[in-house]
Structure 1
Amino acid sequence: MRYIVIGAGAVGGTIGARLHQSGHEVLLIARGAHYEALRSGGLRLITPHDDLRLDIPVADGPVPVREDDVLILATKSQDTVTALDPWPRHLPVVCAQNGVENERTALRRFERVYGMCVWLPALHTEPGTVVSYGSPRSGLLHVGCYPHGADELAKQIATDLDGSSFVALPSPEVMRWKYGKLLSNLSNAVEALAGDASGVDEILEHARVEGMAVLEEAGLAYSTPPEERELRGDQVQMLPIAGQARAGGSSWQSLARSTGSIEADFLNGEIVLLGREFGIPTPANEVLQREANRFARERLRPGSMSLETLSALIDERSAAGSR
C-alpha cells in the first residue's frame, strides 16, 4: 500500500515522515517553495530527540496512481476541493484535517471516505522543515469510515500508523471524536488574533459554551478532553525543542506564513452555521470567524489584536443580537 500525503505541512509532513521511517511507501504532495525544498534537500524533521533529513519522494501535483494507493488529505479545510479535484475518484481518501465538513465534501466526489481525528502538536513555517513536538509518540490519531464504522482498510491504516510512532486507533465513531476536536479548535482563532494574552480564558469558554449548546441542540455527539487525555496518557506529551518554540497552532501558523487564508469558516464558522440553523445565538464565534478571516485577508500579524478589542467586539455583537 502506498500512502499519498496531500499537503506535507505540519500534520501531513509528520505523518508522511513517520510512515516513511517505519518502511511504508510514501509520496508527499507539496507546492511552491516547500515542494522545491523537499525535492532538492528532502524533508527536515525536527523532534525532541532528533534532527533528520529524510529523502521521501515528492511531487507538486497528481501522479499516475496504483490500485493500492491511499490518499491522506492534510491540507487546510478551505483547500479541500482544490486539493482533491485532480485525483481519481476510485481511490480511498482519509481526511486528516480539523473541522467536520471535509468528509462530507469528499464524499460528494469519492466513494470511500475516512475521517481522521488528529491530535498532533507540530509546526511548519519554513519550507522543507517540519517540527514535531510529540514524545515518545508523535500524536494521537483516530481513523474510521465516514459517516461511521471501521472497515478493514481503516484498521490497516490505524495499524500502520500505530507502528509508526503514533498512538492510532480504528474508531467506528470517528466523527464523535472530530466534533470533540472541533470544540477545542474554537480556540484557534483566539490564539491567532490575540495570542496567549492573559485573560483569554473567558473568551475561550464563551466560544466553547456556544459550541456545546449548538451541538447538543443538533443531536451531535462529541468526545470530551478527559477522554482524549486518557488515551494520550504519557505516550503523547508535547516537549520543548531548543530553538524551535511553537508559538501557535494551525491558524496562527497560517497568519505567520501570510498565506492569505485561514480555516475559521470551518471551525468557528461551523458553530455559527449550526447556530443559525437551530436559532441559537453564537456571537463569540461569529466575531472570531469574521476577524480571523479579516486578519488572513489583510495579512495581519498573528497575535496583534488586543484582548480588550476582541472582548469589546464580542460584547458589541452580543448586545446587537439581544435587541
Structure 2
Amino acid sequence: MSRFVIIGAGAIGSFLSARLHEAGHDILLVARGERLEMLQAEGVRLLEGKTDRQVRVPVSGACDPGASPDHVILATKTFQLESALELLEPLNEARFTLLTVQNGVEAPKIAQAALPRTEVLGARMHGFFELEEGIVRHTGVPATLIAGQVADRATAPASAAGAASLAGDLRVASIPTKLVPDMRPALWDKFMMAATIGGVAPAFGLNVGEVLAHPQASALLRDAMTEVVQVAAALAIDLPSGCIAEKLEFIARFPPGVTSSLQRDLESGRPSEFAHLTGAIPRFARQAGLPCPAADDVIARLRARGLRLD
C-alpha cells in the first residue's frame, strides 16, 4: 500500500482521505483551524446515500518531514494553492507524484512551477460533494476521476510508473480512475461549465437549477459557453464535439435548488475561485486575441449585484 499526504480537508480532500484510508493506505490529511480540531475529535464524517459513517483518518496541521509520501493530493480551492504548496516545503527533497483536483485549468502549471522536479498530474473529479456542518455529503453519481499531465512534454518512464501507481491506489479505494496523455481538454471541458454556470446563476440571482428556465439567463449561458469553446480552440485545445449541448442537458437535470460552490461563496461574501473561473475567461480571451462580450456581461452583472469578486 502507498503513503499519501492530502492537503485540504474540504469535501473532496476529506472524501478521498476517508476512502483511501479505508482501503488500507497510509494517509495524512493536512488541515487547519476549526476543521483540524473537528477532525481530531471526530474523524471524517461521511454521508453517502443513506449511509453515515465516521472514518478516523490521521490528521495534522503540517507535513511530516520524516515520512516521505508516494503521492500528494492538493485538494484545496484554487486561491489557496500558494499556501498549500508552502506546506509541502518540508518534503522538498522527497520524490512523489502530485495530483491537483482544483477547479479551473491553471492549478497543475502553478504546482509544476513551484515543484519543478515533481511529476504533477492534473485531475478532474466527477461527483457531487459538499461539506456542511462538518459532514461530507457525496450524492448522485459515483465518484470517478480522470488524470494526466498538462505540460507539453512526453511522460518519462518513471513518471508513467508513478501515475499508474496512483491510479491503481485510487481504484483500490473504489474511485475509478482513467489516465490520459493530455489532461488539458478534460480540464477545459469542466472549466467551460463551471466558469459559466457558476457566474450566470448569481449574476441573475438564480440557483443553478433555475437558469435554463430563465430565457435571458439561459441565452447568456449558451453564449458564454460558446466563447469558452472558441477561446480553447484558439489556444490549441480541442473540446469534445457537442460539449455545450452535453453540459446543458446535464444542467437541465439539476433540481431547482441546486447551487454551485462558486455561487455559494460569492453570495456569502467569502473568498472564492472567481479569478480562476468566471473571471479567468476574459484573461484567456485576451491571450487568444478574442473578444468575450458574454463573459463581460456576466461579470458586469455580478458587480452590479455588489458581489465580492476578489
Q: Give the TM-score category using the shorter length.
A: 0.7 to 0.9
State the partner residue of 1:142.
146
The more displaced of 288-297 and 216-225 is 288-297
TM-score calculated relative to the size of structure 2: 0.81
TM-score calculated relative to the size of structure 1: 0.78
- Partner SS state of residue 120, structure 1: strand
Q: Structure 1 residues 253, 129: closer, same or farther in 2, change over 3 A?
A: farther
Residue ranges of structure 1 left out of the alignment (5+ in a row):
230-237, 299-323
State the partner residue of 2:127.
120
Query: Which residues of 2 match residues 190-209 of structure 1 at below 5 A?
Result: 190-193=200-203, 194=205, 195-196=207-208, 197=210, 198-199=213-214, 200-209=217-226
Give, as a single letter, the amino acid of the residue that structure 2 aligns with 1:190: V
Superposed displacement of residue 239, structure 1: 11
Q: Deviations over 1:114-148 (max 9, x none)?
A: 1111212111132x32101144x3x2201223326
Match for residue 252 of structure 1 among 230, 245, 263: 263
Q: Structure 1 residues 251, 239: closer, same or farther in 2, change over 3 A?
A: closer
- Partner SS state of residue 146, structure 2: strand
- Partner SS state of residue 46, structure 2: strand
In 2, Cα distance between the equivalents of 1:42 and 1:225? 42
State the partner residue of 1:84.
85
Report sequence identity in percent. 26
In 1, Cα distance between the equivalents of 2:87 and 2:7? 11
Q: Is the 8 A contact 1:6 1:28 kept in 2?
A: yes
- Partner SS state of residue 133, structure 1: strand
State the partner residue of 2:282.
272
Superposed displacement of residue 216, structure 1: 1.1
Give, as a single letter, the amino acid of the residue that structure 1 aligns with 2:146: H
Q: Structure 1 residues 120, 259: closer, same or farther in 2, change over 3 A?
A: farther
Match for residue 101 of structure 1 among 83, 106, 124: 106
- Partner SS state of residue 44, structure 1: strand
Give, as a single letter, the amino acid of the residue that structure 2 aligns with 1:185: A
* RMSD, aligned α-carbons: 2.8
State the partner residue of 1:314.
none
Superposed displacement of residue 82, structure 1: 1.4
Residue ranges of structure 2 left out of the alignment (5+ in a row):
247-252
Q: Is the 8 A contact 1:145 1:151 kept in 2?
A: no
In 1, Cα distance between the equivalents of 2:238 and 2:184? 8
Q: Is the 8 A contact 1:144 1:151 kept in 2?
A: no
Q: Is the 8 A contact 1:11 1:120 kept in 2?
A: no
Superposed displacement of residue 289, structure 1: 4.7
Q: Is the 8 A contact 1:264 1:289 kept in 2?
A: no
Query: Which residues of 2 match residues 22-37 of structure 1 at below 5 A?
Result: 22-37=23-38
The reply on whether 1:133 has 2:150 as its aligned counterpart is no
- Partner SS state of residue 156, structure 1: helix
In 2, Cα distance between the equivalents of 1:259 and 1:27? 31
